Chain A
């Protein structure tokens, strides 16, 4: 059993409010809020800024089980077009219809109204340890990502 006891902790890193009480998929920059055998997922505040204003979120056929890293939809923003890849294996239980209707919620409130989907986890014991977790680890990872994004010119120094 993962999560359940997590206390939401917002930490200011540079100009970003980062919830260090959540799990993070370091490759796709999803935050993952785990509760028992389900998880709610959304985009990290760094990705929402580097992508610019989100203009469309579209889902694939959701009536199947997705493997970790498999595309379950796609996202289109001012500066980014690409797939939405599962941070953990599972079935999509619910998508956030409000985000489909108004994708800019991801920009305005990435941890709140801008959540993207809820999934039933099918391989949590094997996969969750691969996510970034813990206040210190999340801060360290986020700071490293900030430097990487700045070096690549994706965000201003």
Chain B
């Protein structure tokens, strides 16, 4: 057996041992209503339980090379007539339990949610929906507003490389702005669910480990790891996703770096065999949950001594 293979096995064993030492045997699998999902081990029964709303429709001032607004397409656009509260009231009447309030960004990387902040508070107070905010960067005023509204969690992508901010996102901000946002959110007592997009720099790893180092400074409800998935009609449509062995190594190092934080694999990752490989790696590295697991992964988790549980909301809703 060569030394590299021994080292890889050792890292994986160490990561899984950390999981066993710090968590129960529970592993969570998520299938939110963003897509219909039915595999032999997990059948989605309440597709309306979790729904994503875009407060800007499909409009976004950024023209990110990996997205080009396409990620907004499957979200439910803000109903201008009913307003945010009115549309959530209807959703709640149809079985929705949680919402993601998201939208396109302004040039400064902020999602313009403050004009809806009173509606957001009413949704929480009067309808009792769980609210996950996708905020982008936040100012002091925005962090105060989120805390006042009582949202359940805040999700945002953390970018750890200046080149990626400039070349992929075309934003005039810095890595330090992401750090400052995490600090503000934490200081205001908000529950953070930061995302790292693996391979974001045109399929290559660049700022991911810096992002991990940044995030681990803060109390994190759940770290969400997603993987660059080249989308049609975007500048990255022909980019290869990052190699699975690099993804696997990141999973292991993330587990070791954040030994007692929940780490989940989010919805976005390439499909087919790629997904099977990385999902196996996630379970083996001791991560805590996976959204839309590949077929066979739930059974595999049982062979590792884990006990699967199932949720029809987003992994950004966390581990409650």
Contacts and interface: CB of A to CB of B under 8 A. Distances in A.
A77 B74 CA distance: 13
A82 B36 contact: yes
A40 B280 CA distance: 35
B128 interface: no
Contacts of A81: 35-39, 292
A77 B36 CA distance: 10
A83 B271 contact: no
Given A82-B37, A83-B38, A56 B271 contact: yes
B270 A79 contact: no
Interface string B12-44: 000000000000000000000011111110000
B163 interface: no
A55 interface: yes
A83 B2 CA distance: 41
A80 B295 contact: no
A81 B276 CA distance: 14
A74 interface: yes
B38 A82 contact: yes
A76 B272 contact: yes
B272 to A, nearest CB: 3
A52 B231 CA distance: 11
A94 B273 CA distance: 22
Contact of B36 (A55, A56, A71, A79): A79
B295 A74 contact: yes
B35 A55 contact: no
B232 interface: yes
B74 A79 contact: yes
Contacts of A53: 232
Interface string B287-307: 000001001000000000000
A74 B41 CA distance: 13
A141 B273 CA distance: 36
A58 B40 CA distance: 14
A76 B74 CA distance: 16
A40 B40 CA distance: 25
B271 A55 contact: yes
A78 B295 contact: no
A55 B270 contact: yes
Contacts of B40: 71, 83
A152 to B, nearest CB: 9
Contacts of B36: 79-82
B283 to A, nearest CB: 18
Interface string A61-95: 00000000001001011111111000000000000
B219 to A, nearest CB: 34
A8 B295 CA distance: 37
Nearest to B39: A81
A80 to B, nearest CB: 5
A71 B270 CA distance: 23
Contacts of A74: 39, 295
Most B CB within 10 A of own CB, among A58, A71, A77: A58
B271 A76 contact: yes
Interface in B30-69: 34-40
Nearest to B74: A79
Contacts of B273: 56
Contacts of B37: 80-82
B280 to A, nearest CB: 15
Nearest to A55: B271
Contacts of B272: 55-56, 58, 76
A52 B35 CA distance: 10
Most A CB within 10 A of own CB, among B37, B40, B271, B275: B271
A78 B35 contact: yes
Given A56-B271, A56-B272, A79 B232 contact: no
Closest 4 CB pairs of A and B: A56-B272, A55-B271, A82-B38, A79-B35
Given A52-B74, A83-B38, 18 more contacts: A55-B271, A55-B272, A71-B40, A76-B272, A76-B275, A77-B35, A78-B35, A79-B34, A79-B74, A80-B37, A81-B35, A81-B36, A81-B39, A82-B36, A82-B37, A82-B39, A83-B39, A153-B76
